[in-house]
């Protein structure tokens, strides 16, 4: 099947047509290539990179340079999916000028087609400035992991009437500021449903129930590769961790027993000249040979 390049406009079109938007994170060339071949609509180079690839305990540690490095790798593997780069902690909150400059680096150096920023109404002037600079922006509200210290942990958001109202108004503001879609993370499905009904741009849920226009998961989570913790919404769609362990265990055994590499996995010297090299090898004087090479 010949796939077409996905764009922000096509993502919005999918909502209008009632088609679900399938998105996932990726952080490197090999996975991004597989994801792209599978016809996923949008790849987020998420700052979850900080945890699932770099091993930090939260997303606050990852830097602009690290995010750009991985965005470049993903871009090299993708032909069809839309690539969105996640702006890391503080890279867009010091001031608007710096935010636009950093967003631009993801497009210019990283090869991304849009950036994602966390936050509601407060972040809208920054989004507007990015859009003025021709940079497309995805919003992110609910559990915004860059604010975990403010929330007191990775906690479900929007559980009170006030908090739910704020989320709905935040989504409206993000739409008005020009964001092309919004990630809704870890909020009750009923609130996600209301938000999805109240805006024309797509909602992409993670822990936000089935009424969102699309879904996103962290690839290392859904493949069972990152198992440090398992939020309620997470479903394992594979056990790649087990496959990797099995493969490594078999490799270890075969190397230890001398079973790998066998002839099938070895290069062969041409049979016709094998005798000559064997003779030379048997009779050579190493010292003489190396002196010859020095001359
Ligand atoms: O960083 C990330 O992977 C994300 C998704 C969970 C939406 O922000």
Q: What is this structure's pTM?
A: 0.94
The pLDDT score that the predictor gives to residue 294 is: 79
Q: How far is the CA of 125 from the centre of ligand 1 (A)?
A: 22
Q: In sequence order, which residues have a C-beta less than 8 Å from that of residue 91 and are 6 or more positions away?
A: 64, 98, 99, 102
Q: Same domain, yes or no, for 167 and 284?
A: no
The pLDDT score that the predictor gives to residue 1 is: 54
The Cα–Cα gap between 225 and 50 comes to 15
How confident is the model over 264-277, as pLDDT tens digits?
Answer: 999 999 998 999 99
In a domain, 2, yes or no: no
Q: Same domain, yes or no, for 22 and 59?
A: yes
pLDDT by position in tens, the chain (length 295): 556 899 999 999 999 999 999 999 999 999 999 999 999 999 999 999 999 999 999 999 999 999 999 999 999 999 999 999 999 999 999 999 999 999 999 999 999 999 999 999 999 999 999 999 999 999 999 999 999 999 999 999 999 999 999 999 999 999 999 999 999 999 999 999 999 999 999 999 999 999 999 999 999 999 999 999 999 999 999 999 999 999 999 999 999 999 999 999 999 999 989 999 999 999 988 888 788 887 6
Q: Same domain, yes or no, for 40 and 161?
A: yes
Here the tokens at position 289 are 């040979």
Q: Same domain, yes or no, for 218 and 286?
A: no
Q: Same domain, yes or no, for 204 and 59?
A: yes
The Cα–Cα gap between 115 and 88 comes to 10
The pLDDT score that the predictor gives to residue 293 is: 80
Q: Same domain, yes or no, for 181 and 289?
A: no
Q: Which residue has the tokens 């010859």?
A: 292
In a domain, 1, yes or no: no
The pLDDT score that the predictor gives to residue 2 is: 58
The Cα–Cα gap between 259 and 19 comes to 51
In a domain, 139, yes or no: yes
Other C-beta atoms within 10 Å of 89: how many? 20
Split into its structural domains, the chain has a count of 2
Q: Give the domain CATH number at 164.
A: 3.20.20.60
DSSP-based three-state secondary structure for 205: strand
Q: Same domain, yes or no, for 55 and 176?
A: yes
Q: Same domain, yes or no, for 19 and 42?
A: yes
Q: What sign results for the dihedral spanned by CA atoms 204, 116, 231, 195?
A: negative
Q: Same domain, yes or no, for 131 and 83?
A: yes
In a domain, 209, yes or no: yes
Regarding the beta carbon of 71 and ligand 1, being less than 6 Å apart is answered no
Task: Select from 24, 32, 46 the residue to mutate for testing ligand 1; criterion: most ligand atoms less than 8 Å from CB.
Answer: 46
- Among 204, 224, 239, identify where a domain stops: 239
**What is the end-to-end Cα distance of the chain in Å, rounded?**
61
Can you tell me which atom of ligand 1 is nearest the CA of 183?
7
In a domain, 287, yes or no: yes
- Among 199, 218, 239, identify where a domain stops: 239
Q: How far is the CA of 148 from the centre of ligand 1 (A)?
A: 13
The pLDDT score that the predictor gives to residue 289 is: 79
Q: Whose CA is nearest to atom 8 of ligand 1?
A: 46
The pLDDT score that the predictor gives to residue 201 is: 98
Domain coverage including residue 262: 245-294
CA angle 112, 90, 81 (to 5 degrees): 15
Here the tokens at position 2 are 């010949």
The pLDDT score that the predictor gives to residue 151 is: 95
Q: Whose CA is nearest to atom 2 of ligand 1?
A: 46
- Among 239, 265, 282, identify where a domain stops: 239
In a domain, 3, yes or no: no
In a domain, 40, yes or no: yes
Q: Same domain, yes or no, for 83 and 211?
A: yes
Q: Same domain, yes or no, for 29 and 172?
A: yes
- The four Cα atoms 156, 188, 117, 16 give a dihedral, to 10 degrees, of 170
185 is catalytic: yes
The pLDDT score that the predictor gives to residue 76 is: 98
The pLDDT score that the predictor gives to residue 31 is: 98
Q: What sign results for the dihedral spanned by CA atoms 55, 56, 60, 65?
A: negative
In a domain, 50, yes or no: yes
Q: Same domain, yes or no, for 142 and 208?
A: yes
């Amino acid at each position: 099947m010949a796939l077409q390049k996905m764009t922000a406009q096509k993502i919005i079109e999918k909502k209008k047509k009632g088609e679900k938007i399938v998105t996932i994170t990726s952080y490197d060339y090999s996975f991004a290539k597989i994801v792209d071949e599978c016809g996923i609509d949008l790849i987020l180079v998420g700052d979850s990179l900080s945890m699932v690839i770099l091993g930090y305990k939260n997303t606050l540690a990852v830097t602009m340079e690290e995010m750009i490095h991985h965005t470049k790798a993903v871009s090299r593997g993708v032909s069809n999916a839309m690539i969105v780069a996640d702006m890391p902690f503080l890279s867009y909150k010091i001031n608007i000028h710096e935010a636009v400059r950093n967003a631009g680096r993801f497009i210019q150096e990283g090869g991304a087609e849009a950036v994602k920023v966390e936050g509601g109404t407060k972040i809208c002037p920054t989004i507007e400035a990015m859009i003025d600079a021709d940079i497309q922006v995805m919003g992110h509200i609910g559990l915004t992991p860059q604010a975990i210290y403010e929330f007191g942990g990775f906690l479900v958001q929007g559980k009170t009437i006030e908090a739910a109202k704020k989320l709905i108004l935040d989504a409206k503001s993000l739409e008005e500021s020009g964001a092309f879609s919004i990630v809704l993370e870890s909020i009750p499905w009923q609130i996600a449903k209301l938000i999805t009904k109240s805006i024309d741009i797509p909602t992409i849920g993670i822990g936000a129930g089935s009424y969102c226009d699309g879904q996103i998961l962290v690839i290392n989570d859904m493949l069972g590769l990152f198992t440090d913790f398992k939020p309620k919404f997470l479903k394992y769609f594979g056990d790649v961790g087990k496959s990797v362990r099995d493969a490594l265990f078999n490799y270890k055994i075969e190397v230890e027993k001398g079973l790998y590499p066998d002839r099938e996995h070895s290069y062969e010297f041409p049979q016709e000249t094998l005798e000559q090299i064997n003779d030379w090898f048997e009779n050579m004087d190493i010292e003489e040979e190396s002196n010859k090479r020095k001359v």
